[in-house]
Amino acid sequence: MTAATQMPRVEECVVASCAYNHTGDCHAFAITIGSPDHAHCHTFVQLPLRAGVAELTAQVGACQRADCRHNEQLECHAPAIRVGPDNDLADCITYDER
Ligand code: SF4
């Protein structure tokens, strides 16, 4: 039997220049976080179109930041995350080093 799991919601993203950002929120189905040196949002993309699904709020599909206290086996277990400028234009600012 497998336990039901829920991915963490992206409760806010202030990166207005991303195609998935509508009004301070992310509408990608799921995002991927992580780079070797910081918690970059790899789903961030600057294109002249409005992307994603208007009815959905993005969730964290995967995260490569194993050094974050919310990370277990490269999955995020935070209740929700926020995305915004930090080391880069679009980073997970909920990242918390162990
Ligand atoms: S809170 Fe931590 S584990 Fe969750 S997406 Fe951000 S960096 Fe990854």
CB atoms within 10 A of CB 79: 11
For all residues of the chain together, what is the average pLDDT?
94
Nearest CA to ligand 1 atom 7: 95
Q: At residue 1, does pLDDT exceed 50?
A: no
Q: What is the pTM of this model?
A: 0.92
**Cα of 81 from ligand 1 centre, angstroms:** 7
For the chain, the domains span: 1-98
> Please, are residues 13 and 87 in contact by the beta-carbon 8 Å criterion?
no
Whether the predicted pLDDT of 3 surpasses 60: no
60, 57, 78, 64 alpha-carbon torsion, rounded to 10°? 10
Residue 91, Cβ density class (10 Å: 0-12 exposed, 13-18 middle, ≥19 buried):
buried
Q: Ligand 1 atom 6: the closest Cα is on which residue?
A: 95
Give pLDDT tens digits for 35-64: 999 999 999 999 999 999 999 999 999 999
